[in-house]
Amino acid sequence: MKEIGGYQAFGYNPDGEFYSDAAKFNLARTALKYLIRAKGIKKIYIPYFMCDSVINACKDESCRVEFYHIGKDFRPMFDKHVCEGEVLYLANYYGQISEEEIATFYGKFGERLIVDNAQAFFSRPCGADTVYTCRKFFPVADGAYLFSSLPRPEDLVKDRSSDRMRHVLTRCEDTASAHYGEFIDTERAFETADVLEMSELTQALMSVFDYAFVKATRERNFGVLADALSGVNGIDVVRPEGPFCYPLYVENAQQIKSRLLENKIYVPTLWPNVLSLPQDFYEHSLAANVLPLPCDQRYTVDDMKLVAALCAGK
């Protein structure tokens, strides 16, 4: 029997989700596992510049992995024929590949293409299997969306998120460092996560965000950083819709990162596993020298000007 009354809880607004028509999973990596199982994928071509969670998800499903390089424009340097039972994994780094370009890739590879929009939440799907993650853009602990030609899975067990939300909720009242250990513990627990449906809590939270505000604020903040730093940025970047971060490529990245940290500005090293690649690989240089500067909806123009000034050594 359904409970009625009592204290308040998060309510789900089915019209509020940005991707209400997508299949919903606990994590992007488990959505990938689902694709591998359901489509019988035997081999996947993955860029060298990729987090180990994606690589390990493939290996967990006994799917062979072959790596390829990317160019300075973040596009694949790939000229192989993708055979039946194989797929090309296309990562939309920092949202730098437009929807039109992704549609061109889909026209070439069709059902043998998987698009990773983990860093491009607002880039709409074009027909290819497309995966999105929630926690890179919003204050949730988990959650992922999948667009696919496959029917939505109906027999998945729902995940539960309440036990892993503490570090997210307390960020409003405490410093990030106060609960950083809990964040790390949560991330480590994901390494062995099963393929589950998105939790009721995450789905409820994803239905109440002001997506127009989030998108516009990220674009404004990205613009402030781009205007201030494009002259020192070692890579050319376009201004994507609702950007994940501003990727600043500088040879003295670690020095700048330390300066930012001294001012309580936290910039992660994305995919440190890539640093184990040979140093003459371009991907190694990206992992070592790109600073993914925060530009999300929590910050003001003045915040961005401070970040830019510190990066420029002013």
Question: Does residue 6 register a pLDDT over 70?
Answer: no
CB under 8 Å to 289, separation ≥6 — which residues? 234, 249, 250, 251, 253
CA distance 171 to 308: 24
**Which residue's entry shows tokens 């961005």?**
304
Are the CB atoms for 150 and 26 separated by under 8 Å? no
Question: Tell me, what amino acid is at 55?
Answer: I
> What count of other Cβ atoms lies within 10 Å of the Cβ of residue 60?
15
* Percent above pLDDT 70 for the chain: 96
Report yes or no: 28 and 187 within 8 Å, Cβ to Cβ.
no
Give yes or no for residue 138 having a pLDDT over 70: yes
End-to-end CA distance of the chain: give it in Å, rounded.
63
As given in the structure block, the two tokens for residue 187 are 């991330």
Residues in the chain: 314
Q: How large a percentage of the chain has pLDDT more than 90? A: 81
Tell me what pLDDT residue 5 has.
67
Provide the mean pLDDT of the chain: 93
Distance of CA 58 to the CA centre of its chain: 17
Tokens of 60: 């967990």
Radius of gyration of the chain (CA): 20
pLDDT (tens digit, 9 = 90+) per residue, 142-184?
999 999 999 889 899 999 998 998 888 887 888 877 877 888 8
The residue-averaged pLDDT of 46-75 equals 96
Distance CA 205, CA 160 (A): 13
pLDDT at residue 177 in the model: 78
The answer to whether 117 touches 128, Cβ cutoff 8 Å, is no
Q: Is 46 helix (H, G, I), strand (E, B) or coil?
A: strand
* pLDDT score of 14 more than 90: no
Under the banding of pLDDT at 50, 70 and 90, the label for residue 8 is low
The full set of domains in the chain, from first to last, is 23-206 (3.40.640.10), 211-311 (3.90.1150.10)
Greatest pairwise CA separation for the chain in angstroms: 63
- Picking from 58, 103, 112, 52, the residue whose alpha carbon sits closest to that of residue 81 is 112
Which tokens go with 52? 């180990």
Give Cβ neighbours of residue 272 (< 8 Å, ≥ 6 apart): 287
Q: Which residue has the higher pLDDT, 188 or 293?
A: 293
Strand order in the sheet with 113-116: 23-25, 144-147, 129-133, 113-116, 86-91, 43-47, 64-70, 76-77
Q: Which two tokens stand for residue 274?
A: 């890539």
C-beta of residue 256 within 8 angstroms of C-beta of residue 311: yes
Instruction: Determine the average pLDDT of the residues in 288-292.
Output: 97
Please tell me the number of Cα atoms within 13 Å of 201 on its side-chain side: 16
Q: Is the pLDDT of residue 80 over 90?
A: yes
